[in-house]
């Protein structure tokens, strides 16, 4: 089972760990007021450039070029036009890079280089920051630096004005991971007084380290169990359900560990602090809410809590601006943003249907289930069903290939999403009758 290797320490985690001393140094210098505002922006930008070159090599150009083009577009277009142009440019650039991955994996039948995969991951995160910034400008939350950055007489002035944009798009704590940080929060943390910087205590840092250690130990133990089993290619009947659940558990543990590490790096650099309410900025949103993810019996709640900052970004970017079928449009865009691999297209479409079914099932259940014993039984059954459906979707999205997708769809695992599809069909009819 060579694919199990992806669950062990990933190069991204190693590079994130190597960035910790620089994050702590940045935070310390800010607290000591040893930095001017421009020096802070430059520190974050140079750190991001150095981390990109170390992690991606020559592929770092694929991240630098769209960052530069975004600043040019933001500085030269009107607020009414900036979001549309930056969105299509960034998604077009990212799609071309994903097509390169498709060509390597499916046409050449070769394993893509690790550096290229890291670059694609960083490019996806850059897309979040680009579209978040352009939406802020479009909605009037951020004032764009206008006037054209190529005017000779004002070149230095405009470079100073655009430095915060360059720094935001490439700052090293968010380059390879971490929750989405809005430009307003970024600017407030960099420009604000030292009291805004997060003083990450030794015990807090130790606690997060112990969490990561515990998750990694669980991951090693579970990977041994999975590798000793038959796998989805050799399992039979109900055994495939156990294989699916345990494999999805490995994916979850990997994500949880990465998210906590990314969150720790954010806090170490001072970007995880709670800002003053007078700044009008939303509170800090970490990506990992492990307790809710593992205890919820609702797929819709799991969807909102899974990778929270990305879920909110998708809601703001697509869901709130969709005139028809917003849920389906949001998941379709998510599949596009992830690269449109066959498993991802199927997985995200299935996820959208499951969320829609979840809303109806729980709405009708709340109307008809009254007694506490029945509510307890209902919650237990829906919790098991939710976890198994999420495991099914996760395997489809993560493994991606058509051959594996075919095995997954032809296994007993397809029973669980099919139950929700049948209930959705029945309840939609009943909903029309009630209306």
This prediction's pTM? 0.91
What rounded mean pLDDT belongs to the chain? 87
Alpha helices in 103-182 (DSSP H): 114-138, 155-170
From the list 55, 54, 83, 79, the residue with the least C-alpha distance to 70 is 83
Q: Tell me which residues are annotated as active site.
A: 307, 338
pLDDT of residue 194: 55
Q: Is the pLDDT of residue 169 over 70?
A: yes
Q: Is the pLDDT of residue 148 over 80?
A: no
Confidence of residue 278 (pLDDT cuts 50, 70, 90): very low
How many other C-beta atoms lie within 10 A of the C-beta of residue 337?
Answer: 23
| CA gap 104, 404 in Å, rounded | 18
Question: What are the C-alpha distances in Å from 308 to residues 112, 209, 256, 423?
Answer: 29, 21, 12, 28
pLDDT at 16: 86
Residue with tokens 């309840």: 427
Task: Tell which wins on pLDDT, 307 or 144.
Answer: 307
pLDDT per residue as tens digits for the range 229-261: 777 777 777 888 998 999 999 999 999 999 999
pLDDT in tens, 182-230: 999 999 888 876 544 455 556 777 888 899 999 999 998 888 888 777 7
Query: From CA 349, how far away is CA 230, in angstroms rounded?
Result: 28
C-alpha span between 271 and 255 (Å, rounded): 21
CB atoms within 10 A of CB 94: 21
Q: What spatial distance separates the first Cα and last Cα of the chain, rounded to whole Å?
A: 52
**Which of 6-15, 132-141, 276-285 comes out lowest in average pLDDT?**
276-285
Q: How far apart are CA 132 and CA 184, in angstroms?
A: 10
pLDDT, residue 201, reads: 58
Within 8 A by CB and 6+ apart from 168, the residues are: 129, 133, 183, 186, 187
Percent with pLDDT over 90 in the chain: 57
What pLDDT, on a 0 to 100 scale, did the predictor assign at position 276? 46
Dist CA 261 CA 253 (whole Å): 12
Residue 93: other Cβ atoms inside 10 A: 20
Q: Find out whether 130 and 86 touch, Cβ atoms under 8 Å.
A: yes
Q: Examine the pLDDT at 154 and tell me if it is beyond 60.
A: no
Length of the chain: 435
Residue 146 clears pLDDT 90, i.e. is over it: no
pLDDT at 172 over 50: yes
Dump pLDDT digits (tens) for 47-88.
999 999 999 999 999 999 999 999 999 988 888 999 999 999
Q: What is the pLDDT of residues 339-359, one digit of tens each?
A: 999 999 999 999 999 999 999
The better pLDDT of the pair 144, 377 is held by: 377
- pLDDT grade for 366, boundaries at 50, 70 and 90: confident
d(CA 112, CA 105): 7
Strands (DSSP E) along 111-259, which ranges? none
User: What is the mean predicted confidence (pLDDT) over 325-352?
Assistant: 95
Give me the pLDDT at residue 1, please. 45
Look at residue 14 in the predicted model and tell me its pLDDT.
85
Integer Cα distance of 357 and 427 in angstroms: 8
Q: pLDDT per residue over 95-117, tens digit each?
A: 999 999 999 988 888 889 999 99
Which residue from 241, 222, 255 is spatially nearest to 1, judged by alpha carbons? 222
Per-residue pLDDT at 18 = 87
Closest CA to 164 of 151, 180, 183: 183
The answer to whether residue 434 scores a pLDDT higher than 70 is no
Site of tokens 């900025």: 281
Q: Residue 264 and residue 200: Cα distance in Å, rounded?
A: 9
- Across 2-6, 16-20, 418-422, 424-428, which has the greatest mean pLDDT? 418-422
Cβ atoms of residues 55 and 177 within 8 Å: no
Q: Note the pLDDT of residue 256.
A: 95
Neighbours of 17 (CB within 10 A): 14
pLDDT value, residue 277: 46
At 273, is the pLDDT very low, low, confident or very high (cuts 50, 70, 90)?
low
């Amino acid at each position: 089972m060579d694919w199990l290797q992806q669950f062990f320490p990933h190069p991204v985690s190693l590079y994130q760990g190597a960035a910790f001393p620089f994050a702590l140094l940045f935070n310390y210098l800010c607290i000591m007021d040893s930095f001017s505002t421009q020096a802070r922006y430059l520190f974050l930008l140079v750190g991001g450039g150095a981390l990109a070159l170390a992690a991606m090599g020559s592929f770092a150009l694929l991240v630098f070029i769209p960052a530069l083009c975004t600043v040019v577009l933001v500085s030269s277009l009107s607020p009414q036009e900036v979001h549309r142009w930056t969105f299509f440019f960034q998604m077009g650039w990212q799609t071309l890079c994903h097509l390169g991955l498709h060509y390597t994996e499916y046409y050449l039948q070769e394993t893509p280089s690790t550096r290229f995969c890291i670059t694609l991951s960083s490019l996806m995160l850059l897309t979040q920051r680009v579209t978040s910034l352009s939406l802020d400008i479009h909605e009037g939350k951020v004032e764009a630096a206008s006037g054209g950055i190529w005017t000779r007489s004002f070149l230095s002035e405009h470079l100073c004005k655009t430095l915060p944009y360059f720094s935001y798009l490439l700052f090293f704590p968010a380059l390879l991971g971490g929750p989405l940080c809005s430009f307003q929060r970024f600017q407030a943390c960099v420009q604000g007084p030292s009291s805004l910087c997060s003083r990450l205590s030794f015990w807090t840092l130790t606690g997060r380290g112990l969490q990561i250690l515990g998750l990694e130990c669980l991951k090693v133990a579970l990977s041994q169990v999975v590798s000793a089993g038959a796998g989805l290619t050799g399992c039979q009947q109900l055994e495939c359900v156990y294989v699916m659940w345990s494999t999805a558990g490995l994916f979850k543990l990997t994500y949880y560990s990465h998210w906590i590490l990314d969150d720790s790096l954010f806090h170490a650099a001072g970007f995880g602090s709670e800002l003053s309410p007078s700044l009008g900025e939303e509170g800090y949103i970490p990506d990992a809410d492990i307790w809710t993810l593992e205890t919820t019996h609702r797929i819709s709640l799991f969807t909102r809590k899974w990778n929270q900052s990305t879920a909110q970004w998708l809601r703001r970017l697509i869901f709130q601006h969709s005139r028809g079928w917003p849920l389906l449009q949001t998941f379709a865009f998510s599949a596009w943003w992830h690269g449109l691999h066959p498993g991802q297209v199927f997985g995200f479409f299935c996820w959208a249907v499951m969320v829609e079914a979840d809303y109806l099932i729980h709405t009708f259940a709340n109307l008809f289930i009254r007694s506490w014993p029945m509510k307890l039984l209902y919650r237990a059954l829906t919790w098991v069903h939710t976890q198994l459906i999420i495991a099914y979707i996760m395997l489809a999205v993560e493994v991606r290939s058509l051959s594996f997708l075919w095995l997954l769809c032809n296994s007993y695992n397809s029973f669980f999403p099919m139950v929700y599809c049948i209930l959705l069909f029945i309840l939609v009819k009943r909903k029309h009758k009630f209306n």
